Amino acid sequence: MKRRVGFKVERRPVASGRVVFFVSLLAIFAALVVAGIFFRIYGVSPIHAYQLILRGSLGSRFGLTETVRRVIPLLLCGVGLTIAFRALFWNIGAEGQLLMGAVAAAGVALFSGLPGPLLLPAMFIGGFIGGATWGLIPAILKVMLGLNDVITTLMMNYIAIYFVEWLIHGPWKGPTARGFAYTDTFPRAAWLPTIYGTRIHWPTLVLGLVLAVVMYIMVTRTRIGFEIRVIGENPDAARFAGISQLKTTLIVMLISGGFAGLAGVGEVAGIHMRLLGPTNISMGYGYTAIIVAWLARRNPLAVIVTSLLFGVIMTGGDVIKVSLGLPFQLINVFNGLILFFLIGSEILLRYKISFLLRR
Amino acid sequence: MDNSEGYAIELCGIVKRFPGVVANDGIDLKVCRGEIHCLLGENGAGKTTLMRVLYGLYRPEEGKIILNGQQVHMTSPRAALNHHVGMVHQHFRLVPTLSVEENIVLGLDEGTGPFVNFRKTREKISSIANEYGLSVDLQTKVWQLAVGQQQRVEILKALYREVDILIMDEPTSVLTPQEVDQLFSTLRTLVDDGLTIIFITHKLDEVMRVSDRVTVLRKGKVVSTLPTAETDKPALARLMVGREVIFRLEKSPLKQREKILEMNDLHALNDRGLPALRGVSFDLFGGEILGVAGVSGNGQYELAEVLTGLRKSTKGRVFLAKKEVTNCSAREMNDLNVAHIPAERIRMGIVPALSIRENLILKKYRRPPFSYREFLDNKEIEENARRAMSDYQIAAPSYETPVKLLSGGNIQKVILARELSENPNLIVAVHPTYGLDIGATEQVRQILLAQRERGAATLLISEDLEEIMTLSDRILVIFNGEVMGILDAESAEIEEIGLMMAGTRHKGEEL
Amino acid sequence: MGWETWIITTFSRSLAYGTPLLLGTLGEIYAERSGVLNLGVEGMMIMGAYSAFTTAYITGNPWLGILVAAVVGGAFSLIHAFTSVTLKANQIVSGLSLTMLGLGLSGMFGRGWEGKPLPATIPKITISGLSKIPFLGPILFEGQNLIVYLSILLVPLLWYILYRTRIGITIRSVGESPATADSLGINVDRVRYMCVLLGGVLAGVAGGYLSVVYRPAWTEGMTAGMGWIVIALTIFAFWNPVYGMLGAYLFAALYHLSYRLQPWVSPEFLKAMPYAFAILVLIFVSRGTLQKRMGAPAALSLPYTRGEE
């Protein structure tokens, strides 16, 4: 009697939630394994390293606060990006939108002359507008002229970076210390309150959590959320149903850019209390948020979890640098690996491999 | 035709199947060398499929292809070209941003490696062009050319590859009358030079004008092959549409009510910027079904799109229950309670990844009771879904099931449920039973008849002539964007319809 | 500094700094012409820079370093080609992840290499006869090197291939209308792989040039966004190698001038110019006929699957 083992590959019509979750875990696991190889190269046991990271970022008080501090901008940007991605608008420009939000907040803090209690709310509003404007420009270009959203948002990032550089070296220049340029410190009233002894500017955190929930409700329960989902799934049917691509795209980028702007406000008003060089304000939050949103499968609530994961990872970078003497860059490698395995694993979502045992 | 020289092409017993349909059902075809042979038939007859088999795009399940007495296996278009068979498709295979000469040379292996000797190429193309009167500026980019000239490029492409046999698939559908004249004279020149041409068409005029012999296909089978000189248009029309008994559905007598739709001299362009509708006028009354018969590509889809706000008209006016709705948007037509059952079910009619209940409210989500201010009322939406699924017998595990998992028939029922639930006064139904099994087809037709009972005005656009004749009260035939005539369905003769579909105006007016 | 000397120095430095921009752009032009958007250029460049430096340091042979850089860049690009063309995954995300990986890996491994001096680099070339030509002489023939010359020679070569040979026609058809190309028997996937590979190789060489010739030195993140400028440049060049060359030197000049012109124009403004220019170009070609004449390949960043007729 002969036994034949083979497998057949067939197209999977729809991937259930369970499969998606499992595949995402698989991607993360694959990244952990490959990163583990790099740990080995440095003579460190990967298990040991991962334990250290978890303990360092979640186990100690300091580590936890550092993690949460990083979660805040990831959360805000990530939620905004899930909305953009749902409408198939590839917003690679969260980094620039974050910076423009920071600029607006700094402008309000330093020059608006508003009375104390009004300062912080005004900064948030200004930051939202700043980020939203920066996001609306590529949106308008896409809807009116058909310009590629990836390229325009990407280019806008660099324009924003140099704009910030110009401000801090030029018109908004404050005291310079050892070659670093930054603006004057914000007035006290423009400082976000933080949890005692930490750098967690909790109003922004609360804002992020609230917005995550609000966006989830919007996507699942409102008309505009429905329209966004239809456009993202089948633009032809959207046209058929009379849904306006123009209006929806603009709203989506208003939100996505605005949220990134809010993240920028948080950073300058909660952590630095001044406008700094762009790479000091954002350690690639805008780009990491892309992975956060992708891993969350465009679900705003899930972003709460995935942003926490990446907060842990980013803090983990500090941990391995300090405790193990390993380069921080390993974290970027890890992020790159996760993203890579995520998209690579999507093929598992599209096709089902079943094993056949034939006698 | 003198067949002592042997046939250029012999197709023996070609069978080609697709899921759910037998496109070619044992076709035998013999084409003589040096003749223009027309393949005539209406939609779905199998003409294009058959030629694609000959050109190597499809592999037949059964049958043989014999060229000049030798059996060949057409495994791909490359193989076809190696056997000197070329094809000019209905939708041109040209790269718009490349120049004419670049397009002609594209994909060709001339043995010169990576380099193209443009001088030699130009000489060769020019000599071909001059010989057959196909002049085109070689260095113009294709997107800058008029459609007629683009077609010339396609022909030059084939001639450059030294074909003996040229297949042309509905070549005149995009040409002006002058360009058609030029094309025909070119074909005559080619044939005088020894080429064999197979010409797919549904236009009787052209068959009579240009062909030596004609083969009529119907529903995947050959009906007849005859010399053109021995036949005429009415005879061909009869062969094309057949005279089997039409099974008429149980239909209550027509109770025509007030006029719901008035279309006046409507003109519109298609996606390529060519005229699709040229002065279409008709009235539509409540309680009746007006069937639009015509071969695919004669303007019926554009008609549906104009009526439902998906395409702008360039001239003319449309009135819905006395209110002008010319060039209203899709949303406005939607709000005016116009139902649209689209031709492309999956691409346009549903959002595949969303659930049944979400698809059911695709058009009404903005209105109460489904939404209150900005929020969707999920309870109402679920209730609506439950009701629709039972009313229309949609078979699915639950209303949360993503629509893309449903069968074709159930998808169509979701669309019908959505479109018809608000008791529309105008229904535009395009191929409503396309691709559905017998059971689903029955159900859909019954639903449409029920709407007719209720008093809705229905415009039924379909490529299935039997469906039109069975369901309609009146039949409008469209050809080349114009109305050839409107007949009463009960008394219409199918040959008359066939003639009109193929270009003859009603009551004997020649085109 | 006299005006003359000033101009000569500017152009001369632009040539030097523009070379990696040019190499990267030429490669990206080919990749995008075949329809694949490669956002991993930055990652490929920095990996090229790192591998070239370490190879040159260890072996003492700078040319070997450049060669290794080419191989590394190519290998990276093959990964991108695999995910984009074979797996038909999202090209944007694939490219971004490779950039992250490249920056991370090079930063990680490169940690011990900062500050190390390179024992030998490729020689500067001065052609005494030609360098006497007023203006052009000192710019082109004094103190440049072989890679600069090779990259300049690549331009007419790649231009010719793209516009005047069968290969070029094939590439352009694949990027404009892969369905048409496929129906004519062209292997769309293979063409795309080749073009992406070329892009990766040239990006690697560009990075290697930076670390082995231009500086020469290794610093973490030394490409400093050059890869993104390449993306902008590709658009600015209307996907044409000749304009790519002009654009590369122009942007290099802007970069060089951004420090020189500091008293009058803010350097940040000049540095932002390439990106703003790219958007302006895109706007310019967005109108109908211009799009066809000079715009992006129609199938750019869209995965191709053969559909049923």
User: Where is average pLDDT lowest: A325-329, B240-244, B332-336?
Assistant: B240-244
Q: Which of A276-280, B92-96, C153-157 has the highest mean pLDDT?
A: C153-157
**B8: CATH:** 3.40.50.300
Domain-embedded: residue B248: no
Domain-embedded: residue B174: yes
The ipTM assigned to this model is: 0.84
- Residue at a domain's end among B162, B180, B208: B162
Domain-embedded: residue B344: no
Q: Residue B369: list chain A partners with CB under 8 A.
A: none
**Domain identity same for B50 and B61:** yes
**Domain identity same for B134 and B5:** no
- Residue at a domain's end among B162, B189, B214: B162
Under a CB-based contact definition with an 8 Å cutoff, are residues B285 and B474 in contact?
Answer: no
Whether C170 contacts chain B with CB within 8 A:
yes
pLDDT in tens, A284-318: 899 999 999 989 988 999 999 999 999 999 888 88
Query: Which neighbouring-strand residues pair with A99?
Result: none
Among C84, C111, C113, C114, CA closest to C97: C84
What pLDDT score was predicted for residue C160? 93
pLDDT in tens, C277-299: 888 888 887 776 666 677 788 88
Among C292, C240, A127, C199, CA closest to B97: C292
Q: What is the mean pLDDT of residues A81-85?
A: 96
d(CA B279, CA C32): 45
Q: Which of A1-15, A180-194, B77-91 has the highest mean pLDDT?
A: B77-91
User: Where is average pLDDT lowest: A209-213, A259-263, C139-143?
Assistant: C139-143
**Domain identity same for B269 and B333:** yes
pLDDT in tens, C102-124: 998 998 888 888 888 877 777 77
| C 237-276 → A contacts, CB under 8 A | 266, 268-269, 271-272, 275-276
Under a CB-based contact definition with an 8 Å cutoff, are residues B359 and B406 in contact?
Answer: no
Per DSSP, chain A holds a count of helices (H) and strands (E) of: 14, 4
Chain B nearest-CA distance from C164, in A, is: 7
Domain-embedded: residue B102: yes
DSSP A189: G
Is pLDDT of B417 > 80?
yes
Task: Note whether B105 contacts C169, CB cutoff 8 Å.
Answer: yes
Please name the amino acid found at residue A93. G
d(CA A15, CA A57): 33
What pLDDT score was predicted for residue A10? 65
pLDDT in tens, B451-492: 998 889 999 998 888 888 889 999 999 998 999 999 988 888
pLDDT in tens, B297-326: 889 999 999 999 899 999 999 999 888 989
User: Where is average pLDDT lowest: A122-126, B253-257, C305-309?
Assistant: C305-309
**Domain identity same for B437 and B499:** yes
At B31, give phi and psi (nearest 5°).
-120, 130
Domain ranges of chain A: 75-316
Whether C7 contacts chain A with CB within 8 A:
no
d(CA B360, CA B403): 10
The domain total for chain B is 4
**Domain identity same for B77 and B113:** no
**Domain identity same for B273 and B237:** no
**Domain identity same for B55 and B119:** no
Among B464, B462, B500, CA closest to B480: B500
Q: With cut-offs at 50, 70 and 90, classify the pLDDT of residue A249.
A: very high
What pLDDT score was predicted for residue B65? 92
What pLDDT score was predicted for residue B136? 84
pLDDT in tens, C66-94: 999 999 999 999 999 999 999 888 898 89
Domain-embedded: residue B43: yes
Q: What is the mean pLDDT of residues C172-186?
A: 88
Q: For B351, which of A224, A230, A242 is closest by C-beta distance?
A: A230
**Adjacency order of strands within the sheet including B7-18:** B21-32, B7-18, B62-67, B70-72
Domain-embedded: residue B343: no
**Domain identity same for B259 and B358:** no
What pLDDT score was predicted for residue C277? 86
Whole-model pTM: value is 0.85
pLDDT in tens, C28-38: 999 999 999 99
Q: Which residue has the higher pLDDT, B1 or A212?
A: A212
Whether B79 contacts chain C with CB within 8 A:
no
Q: What is the mean pLDDT of residues A46-54?
A: 86
Reading the block at residue A118, the tokens are: 């009004």
Is pLDDT of C309 > 70?
no
C contact test, residue of B51, B97, B169 with most C CBs within 10 A: B97
What pLDDT score was predicted for residue B510? 39
What pLDDT score was predicted for residue C99? 93
Q: Residue C102: list chain A partners with CB under 8 A.
A: 336
Task: Note whether B52 contacts C309, CB cutoff 8 Å.
Answer: yes
**Domain identity same for B169 and B80:** yes
Domain-embedded: residue B342: no
Whether A349 contacts chain B with CB within 8 A:
no
pLDDT in tens, B489-511: 888 887 788 888 888 777 644 33
**Domain identity same for B178 and B76:** yes
**Domain identity same for B400 and B353:** yes
d(CA C233, CA B266): 48
Q: For B363, which of A224, A234, A241 is closest by C-beta distance?
A: A241
**Domain identity same for B354 and B442:** no
Q: Containing domain of residue B480, as a range?
A: 254-337+424-511
Average pLDDT of chain C is 87
d(CA B261, CA B263): 7
- Residue at a domain's end among B219, B242, B265: B242
Task: List subunits contacting chain B, requiring 3 or more Cβ pairs under 8 Å.
Answer: A, C
What pLDDT score was predicted for residue C267? 81
CB atoms within 10 A of CB B448: 23
